[in-house]
Amino acid sequence: MSDSNLATNLKTSRDKYDAAVAKTLAKFPEQQKTFVSASGSPVERLYLPESDPRAAYTEQLGFPGQFPFTRGVQPTMYRGRFWTMRQYAGFATAEESNQRYKYLLGQGTTGLSVAFDLPTQIGYDSDDPESLGEVGKVGVAIDSLADMETLFDGIPLDKVSTSMTINSTAAILLAMYIVVGEKQGVTPEKLNGTIQNDILKEYIARGTYRFPPKPSLRLIADIFEYCTKEVPNWNTISISGYHIREAGSTAAQEIGFTLADAICYVETALKAGLKVDEFAPRLAFFFAAHSDLFEEVAKFRAARRLYARIMRERFNASDKSCMLRFHTQTGGVTLTAQQPDNNVVRVTIQALAAVLGGTQSLHTNSKDEALALPTEESVTVALRTQQIVAYESGVTNTIDPLAGSFFVEQLTDRLESEAKQYIEKIDAMGGMVAAIERGFVQKQIEESAYRFGQSIDSGERVIVGVNKFTSKKEPDIDLFEVPEATQKRQVDKLKSVKANRDANKVRAALSAVTEAARGDGNLMPPILDAVRAYCTVGEICRALEGVFGQYTESFN
Amino acid sequence: MPYHGDIPNLIAQTASRGPASVRAAARLMSIVTDHPERVATMLAGATRWPQPRLVLGITGAPGSGKSTLTDQMAASFRARHPDRLLGILAVDPSSPFTGGAVLGDRVRMMRHATDPKVFIRSLASRGHLGGLALGARGVVRIMGLLGCDVVIIETVGVGQSEVEIAQNADLTVVVLAPGQGDSVQMLKAGLMEAGDVFVVNKADRPDAATLQANLLNMLKMGWMARVDLYHEELTCHGPQMLVAGQSADGGKALSSIPDLPLDAAAPPPVFLTSATNAQGIEPLVDHVESRAARDADAWRARRDTQITREVRDAVLESARKRIAHLIGRNGTSQATLAPVLEGRISVDELTDQLIRRALSDIDTTHRIQPT
Amino acid sequence: MLDPTPKARVLIGKPGLDGHDRGAKYVAQVLRDAGFEVIYTGIRRSPEQIVEAAIQEDVAGIGLSLLSGAHNVLFKRVIDLLKERGASDIVVFGGGTIPPKDIPTLTAMGVKAVFTPGTPAKRIVETLDTLLAQPA
């Protein structure tokens, strides 16, 4: 049958169906007048083929491991190997976190993911007045190399891959990791892992910035250059939509803003004199998985296709540089403090979305995280959730199983086009840094968050246990607590490190950092020297700040 | 919030500049902004209050980088006069529907928040008819009483009332930025007349030079038109003088001609800044300081005339509030107004009735606010 | 339109170092919609900055949002500073990732209301209407 015959046929059947629907609606109206996705986009009653899917197959979908990578970045996907099961963890001091990592490795995680406390992420030492109350709270406190040595004590760095959520101070923490490797006898080219190193989304959504955009981007370019030569297996950045989504964006904004960030990083590296195919294969991404299963799966597919096209069309990159590899975390904001057991179910759906969307690694949240850091028990359940999806659900047996669904393909197309429109808007403003300084991106996210909040507060959107099916009973749940004495213990440790190091070496190393910051050479070597001399994160940041200055938030 | 603080006591505490002065000043500010009708009471004796040396207005479109520029200029004033107090009054629009507001100007100015020499006050425009300008002038006077040497008034240059506030300043800076399609429209909408000094912020953007050129051109044309108008005025009012700035009285006589700025010898200057990088700030502040040194006497005289207008506005506001109270709020006003709609009485008759009720209703005289 | 007189001035601030401002911004907007004037301070503010701002702005209440778990230390510091400045009449409330078992501790130190994730906006507004009611 020809295409036009097919279309006529379909039209006739569709008319019949619509008539039947009208009759049904008269007697049994649907539950809502309009149906919308988690991002607030309208969802139709039924999706039909818009054209013969075979026509545009190679161009739109292609094959796994091949441009435009819509169906996945590896030729065999999970048939070859599951995703990396990586649980983000870290709290209190290096000793406690080291114990937690060993426990997680024993339970079958296949990669480490280090959570640092906020002072470490922003570059304040544990004894800094700015650190009041925050030491060891949302992650582990690292002041100097001594803490990093303890953190990885007994964990051979050539056997694990380590992901570190660190941004404005990424160069320093990476330097510490390299030096710990040296001390274990592991050379830098054998190190595997990722630093988040995505400063733009800190200005947009997460807030752990320290320096203004320009010097921050220079630090990132320096890391790219250094790692290309010295730490070739390191993922030098994890360009993150996760926090943008957490701050309240829609799915389309999540990928649009993240890829606009990516464009800025690629341009920065090119300006610094690197060649696209030298560094682009080491760029990694990080997205959220929320509960709207199909929208999320489509989002991951759209992100892969759009990125591939951008890299080829704008930067003339090779296919290897066009692959969007990503880590996923289930949506922290979707967890509820009420009826925390329900969160296990939410996380299951979200984990499924990530896997059906072809993620390379996954963190599943624990049920108690709307209330506190997770306990060991709740982390175990979260990990088991991934293992059940991997080993029992069967969804891993074939690649991209939702491809060809009329709904999923049309969603994928729509998300790609919406995201593209955001990128075009940002281009017109003069790029991501200008868009951030104007507050455009922040404002867009804030507006989406407001709409989402209002839809819950009005009852239009149901959150089980929160605005429907509520229960009077207070959750009876054991919560994790960071030991009271953490800050004091950490400060004591810092004091003893400072007392036992060579003060002359420290002074010289810090002035070398300042000197390098004033010039335009690569900052990694002087930072490595400072780390070796046991200079603290706070000291190195202050040296950089003296030259770079501080960033202040914008608000419209 | 106890608004019924004893006003003379709060004034004495503010003037003492002791440890309680900040809180007392903040309280007084709430009184003038929430109950502008009480300004008149407060202003008794205010002619003898110390006044700021310079009241600087900063206005511009949202996204022009006003707050950052304000923050940078504040830092510059602080560095120039380390021992003197600086006041910042930031005005943002209220929601016309709910009366609420989110005031976010402090976000960019937090580094000054723990500087004991900086006092920042955020003010919502509240949609008051004239009340905002009155409250803002009161806040500036209280800042003077507290000892502020310079007061910066930052407003969003979108509505008429915001522009008016900026014009209450001795000197008004209008901020524009490239890449805002609406910049030129804003100028057409009246901001051009409001500005004594213009700033093209975000000067590191490629299209800043074009904006500057267009702006200079427009300002020059506007200036020439005003000079022509001025000459016409001269022929009507007699040949007193030809060009402001050459006159013995510092141009005061000129200010009696509506909308002609004190300094009409040349079009307003245009400065290029990049506030986020702290570039171009010093020449701008140099210029403002030199104007302050030159025109201090004229400004002081103008402020003295203004205080009479403030009392007048306070009286009108007080009358308006009392009548508004008698009419009632949205929910209850219908009953009061119905006789007019039904044609039973005229608007004038209803007004007479309300005024009589206001006079006889002792209660309302002291009733501050209908709730 | 008759006078839309605002209800009260409230400061919404984020003490400590965490940058998750979604909740703080949402509450600020909800309060605006309910007729409050909200002074928003932005993220990463010290207790000193927050208290000084609250005094200069003459607010009736301070809302603190914190997701990092540093609430016991930082909320207390804000309350202590208010006492030092003779401004204990300013009502302090808070929200964020706060375990239920910490709520009595916070209440005991003088925090008048704690809103955990999922609290309906309506309840926040009603609570503040009561807590910040102005004398007639």
Chain B CB contacts of A429 below 8 Å: 179
Please tell me the predicted confidence (pLDDT) of residue B236. 61
Query: Which site among A450, A478, A479 would you substitute to test the C interface, given the most C Cβ atoms closer than 10 Å to its Cβ?
Result: A450
What class is the A79-457 domain? alpha beta
Q: What is the DSSP string of B123-152?
A: EE-TT-SSHHHHHHHHHHHHHHHHTEEEEE
Under an 8 A CB cutoff, do C53 and B102 touch? Answer: no
Please tell me the predicted confidence (pLDDT) of residue A424. 98
| Mean pLDDT computed over C48-66 | 96
Within an 8 Å CB–CB cutoff, is residue C13 touching chain A?
no
Residue of A nearest to B65 (CA): A438
| Mean pLDDT computed over B181-187 | 58
**What DSSP designation does C111 have?**
-
Q: At B245, is the pLDDT very low, low, confident or very high (cuts 50, 70, 90)?
A: very low
Please tell me the predicted confidence (pLDDT) of residue B257. 44
Rounded CA-CA distance B179/C119 in Å is 41
Query: Which site among C21, C29, C116 would you substitute to test the A interface, given the most A Cβ atoms closer than 10 Å to its Cβ?
Result: C21
Under an 8 A CB cutoff, do B63 and A212 touch? Answer: no
pLDDT tens digits, C104-122: 999 999 999 999 888 999 9
CB atoms within 10 A of CB A10: 12
Chain B CB contacts of C7 below 8 Å: 99-100
Q: At B177, is the pLDDT very low, low, confident or very high (cuts 50, 70, 90)?
A: confident
Q: At B3, is the pLDDT very low, low, confident or very high (cuts 50, 70, 90)?
A: very low
Under an 8 A CB cutoff, do A130 and C17 touch? Answer: yes
CATH architecture for segment(s) C9-130? 3-Layer(aba) Sandwich (3.40)
User: Smallest CA–CA separation between C55 and chain B, in Å?
Assistant: 6
Q: Does position A216 have pLDDT exceeding 60, yes or no?
A: yes
Phi, psi of A487 (to 5 degrees): -60, -45
Task: List B176's β-bridge partners, or say none.
Answer: B200
Q: Where are the domains positioned within chain A?
A: 79-457
Q: At B315, is the pLDDT very low, low, confident or very high (cuts 50, 70, 90)?
A: confident
Give the neighbours of chain A: at least 3 Cβ pairs within 8 Å.
B, C
CB nearest A555 (choices: B107, B111, B205): B107
User: Smallest CA–CA separation between C103 and chain B, in Å?
Assistant: 26
- Cβ-based neighbours of A443, under 8 Å, separated by 6 or more: A556
pLDDT tens digits, A364-408: 999 999 888 899 899 999 999 999 999 999 999 999 999 999 999
Chain A CB contacts of C18 below 8 Å: 118, 134, 138, 207
Please tell me the predicted confidence (pLDDT) of residue B222. 78
Under an 8 A CB cutoff, do A446 and C97 touch? Answer: no
Under an 8 A CB cutoff, do A457 and C30 touch? Answer: yes
CB nearest B100 (choices: C6, C89, C134): C6
Within an 8 Å CB–CB cutoff, is residue A425 touching chain B?
no
CA-closest candidate to residue A212, choices A556, A553, A555, A549: A549
Burial of A431 (0-12, 13-18, 19+ CB in 10 A): middle
CB nearest C36 (choices: B23, B100, B126): B100
Under an 8 A CB cutoff, do B68 and A554 touch? Answer: yes
Within an 8 Å CB–CB cutoff, is residue C123 touching chain A?
no
Ordered alpha helix ranges (H), A59-201: 94-106, 118-122, 145-151, 170-184, 200-201
Chain B CB contacts of C1 below 8 Å: 96, 127, 330
∠ at Cα A474 (A471, A475), nearest 5°? 100
Under an 8 A CB cutoff, do A132 and C77 touch? Answer: yes
Within an 8 Å CB–CB cutoff, is residue C96 touching chain A?
no
Within an 8 Å CB–CB cutoff, is residue C35 touching chain A?
no
Residue of A nearest to B62 (CA): A556
pLDDT tens digits, A139-195: 999 999 999 999 999 999 999 999 999 999 999 999 999 999 999 999 999 999 999
Mean pLDDT, chain A, rounded, equals 94
| Mean pLDDT computed over A221-249 | 96
CA-closest candidate to residue A466, choices C120, C127, C98: C120
Burial of B80 (0-12, 13-18, 19+ CB in 10 A): middle
Interface contacts (B, C; CB < 8 Å): 125
Residue of C nearest to B322 (CA): C3
Please tell me the predicted confidence (pLDDT) of residue B48. 85
User: Smallest CA–CA separation between B106 and chain A, in Å?
Assistant: 9
Q: In what order do the strands lie in the sheet with C113-115?
A: B101-103, C37-40, C9-13, C61-66, C91-96, C113-115
For residue A320 the two structure tokens come to 């290897």
Chain B CB contacts of C36 below 8 Å: 100
Chain B CB contacts of A552 below 8 Å: 68, 71, 107-108, 110-111
Residues 300-329 of B with CB under 8 A from C: 321, 324, 327-329
Task: List A145's β-bridge partners, or say none.
Answer: none
Within an 8 Å CB–CB cutoff, is residue C30 touching chain B?
no
Buried b (16+ CB within 10 A) or exposed e, C87-121: beebbbbbbbbbbbebbeebeeebbbbbbbbbbeb
CB nearest A248 (choices: C22, C43, C69): C22
Gap between the terminal Cα atoms of chain C:
22
pLDDT tens digits, A330-371: 999 999 999 999 999 999 999 999 999 999 999 999 999 988
User: Smallest CA–CA separation between B66 and chain A, in Å?
Assistant: 11
CB nearest A556 (choices: B63, B206, B276): B63
Phi, psi of C21 (to 5 degrees): -105, 10
Q: What is the DSSP string of B278-315?
A: TBSHHHHHHHHHHHHHHHHHHHHHHHHHHHHHHHHHHH
Under an 8 A CB cutoff, do B102 and C57 touch? Answer: no
CB nearest C117 (choices: A208, A370, A446): A370
Q: What is the DSSP string of A412-429?
A: HHHHHHHHHHHHHHHHHH
Indicate the fold that domain B47-295 takes in CATH.
Rossmann fold (3.40.50)
| Mean pLDDT computed over A448-466 | 94
Query: At C117, is the secondary structure helix, strand, or coil?
Result: coil
Q: At C125, is the pLDDT very low, low, confident or very high (cuts 50, 70, 90)?
A: very high
Mean pLDDT, chain B, rounded, equals 79
Within an 8 Å CB–CB cutoff, is residue C49 touching chain A?
no
ipTM: 0.91
Q: Where are the domains positioned within chain C?
A: 9-130
| Mean pLDDT computed over B19-36 | 89
Please tell me the predicted confidence (pLDDT) of residue A1. 54
Q: Does position B303 have pLDDT exceeding 90, yes or no?
A: no
Under an 8 A CB cutoff, do A553 and C72 touch? Answer: no
CB nearest B113 (choices: C5, C28, C49): C49
Rounded CA-CA distance B203/B211 in Å is 10
Under an 8 A CB cutoff, do B120 and C53 touch? Answer: yes
Burial of B145 (0-12, 13-18, 19+ CB in 10 A): buried
Please tell me the predicted confidence (pLDDT) of residue B180. 66
Phi, psi of B293 (to 5 degrees): -65, -40
Please tell me the predicted confidence (pLDDT) of residue C14. 96
- Cβ-based neighbours of B71, under 8 Å, separated by 6 or more: A552, B108, B109, B111, B112, B275
